[in-house]
Structure 1
Amino acid sequence: MQSVLIVGAHCGDGEIQAGAIAHKYAQAGYRVTFLHLTAGEKGAPPHLDVEAYRQQKIREAEKAAAILGGTSITLAHRDAELTFNEEIVKEVATIFRREKPEFVITHWENSMHPDHALCQKIVQDAWLKASLPGFDLDGLPPHGLRRVFHSENWEDMDGYEPDIYVDVTDSFDVYLEALSCYWFIMNSTSFRYYDYYKALGTMRGCLARTTYAQTLKNSSGLNVRREGHIPGFPI
């Protein structure tokens, strides 16, 4: 079975950025996995301590992934404490070899949030290590990804210009249902996440001449503007 991996710095990032795309591919028979480098627990609400909120976010991630037709993996690294080192790169590369994704979706390289910027660097380096036979990663055979794509996040918009518009009209209601699993999306007083991403999907849909769309930026630097599907893949 072909697979897709969505990698976010925190539980919730991958879902808000590419959850509708993920559901579209799940409906087409792909195995979809959301990989979270941290739970994103430091933004705990007043009624929860950080560890309790971490466990809540992991549960929310699992519920959201199931709604979108996928599964969730949350690593043990701590929110706002990510570092770029060989340990985490090899950890992610091992997951790439185990999951064997056709392509990966992750953050754009420029972000106001340090964890987001580090996440995409970790993904890019893990992409290389997963493909090279010289790295022994739990005895798993090398796996070379076809592409790494960057997805749209309100905190990562510096220089983000979409290359690809994906028609997610048939998946958008399910996407909104998945977003509603997250406490921070529905209750944040600092940013209206739910309203923003519903409006973003509508706006991108207008530009793509469809009802709803999500966008991607091609990490290869190729300016491939394709409405409705990802180049090289069936939908």
Structure 2
Amino acid sequence: MSKIQAKPSILVVSAHAADFVWRAGGAVALYAERGYHVRIVCLSFGERGESAKMWRQTGMTMDRVKAARREEAERAATILGGTLECFDLGDYPMRVPDEALLRLADIYRELRPEFVLSHSREDIYNFDHPLATHVAQEARVIAQAHGYKPEVPVIGAPPVFLFEPHQPEQCNWKPDVLLDISSVWEKKQRAFTTMAAQEHLWEYYTRVALQRGAQATRNSDRKIQYGEGYARVFPMVSEVLA
């Protein structure tokens, strides 16, 4: 049994290099501290749509932007306790060939994740985001299919949680899970600072975390300072309702 298989795992499928930091960095840090192996798959470096600050520099090239965004994402993942894997599928537009889809299905089979985190199913501001979550969920279905690589055991049915888009109201996204990330907020905030190409978002996502924390407090009997919101895709299966 590999070291990855020897402990529980979770999978995060991020469209771009920074998405997992803003939207799921707290969950990554929280579960890494709990001993989980956290694999973060970035489908794109965000080299066009999320790198405007870099493109304003004289003499900037695509290779330099990609290298910088990869370095930022790797440093953020290390701070949070996750392991980063980059697919480099392009950006604006991002296109996902079958090889990449099956590569992700193989990661599901390797990790056998306890749950999966990815984007909202709608985003009128960024078409790469719903594409990423579609790919994450299609790969999950392939990894469940007995006819796909029958020599490799299929996975079960890991729950899928959709993290918060930048403008949730316009994306028809509503949280039904509020995760308390107060204990790992300092790590998430440090991971923010690696994303120099999007410094304008540091304060915004701090406000989001405070707001979700306030909502979590209102919906519990605890004082919660920082939170992350998630929407479930599949019903929760349980023997109790509490």
Q: Distance in 2 between matches of 1:63 and 1:22?
A: 14
Q: CA deviation at 1:181?
A: 0.5
The secondary structure found in structure 2 opposite 1:6 is strand
Task: Specify whether residues 105 and 52 from structure 1 end up closer, same or farther in structure 2 by C-alpha distance, changes over 3 A only.
Answer: same
- Which shows bigger deviation, 143-152 or 108-117? 143-152
Which residue in the other structure is 2:17 paired with? 11
Q: Deviations over 1:105-156 (max 9, x none)?
A: 000000021111111111111010011121128x643223421110012055
SS in 2 for 1:110: coil
Asked if 1:123 corresponds to 2:129, the answer is no
Letter aligned with residue 93 of structure 2:
E
Deviation readout 1:189-216 (Å, 9 max, x if unpaired): xxx3111100000011011111111011
TM-score (norm 2): 0.84
Q: CA RMSD in A?
A: 1.9
1:135-214 to 2 correspondences below 5 Å? 135-136=148-149, 140-155=152-167, 157=169, 158-186=171-199, 192-209=200-217, 210-214=224-228
- The C-alpha deviation readout for 1:27-60, integer Å capped at 9, x for no partner, is 1111111110011111351223221110111111
Aligned to 2:233: 219
| Contact 1:37–1:77 (Cα < 8 Å) also in 2 | yes
- The whole-number CA distance in structure 1 between the counterparts of 2:94 and 2:100 is 9
Give the structure-1-normalised TM-score.
0.87
CA distance in 2, matches of 1:85, 1:132: 19
The residue number in structure 2 matching 1:227 is none
User: Higher strand share goes to which structure?
Assistant: 1
What is the one-letter code of the residue matched to 2:113?
Answer: P
Native 8 Å contact 2:43 2:87 kept in 1: yes
Partners of 2:116 and 2:47 lie apart in 1 by 24
- Counterpart of 2:110 in structure 1 is 98
In the alignment, is the contact (CA less than 8 A) between 2:168 and 2:174 conserved in 1?
Answer: no
**SS of the residue aligned with 2:203?**
helix
Distance in structure 1 (CA, Å) of the matches to 2:178 and 2:168: 17
Partner of 1:41, secondary structure, is coil
Residue of structure 2 in register with 1:69 after alignment: 81
The correspondence for 1:108, drawn from 102, 116, 120, is: 120
SS of match in other structure, 2:43: strand
Uncovered stretches (5+) of structure 1, i.e. residues with no partner:
187-191, 225-230
Paired residue total: 218
Aligned to 1:22: 28
Separation (CA, whole Å) in 1 of partners of 2:146 and 2:99: 18
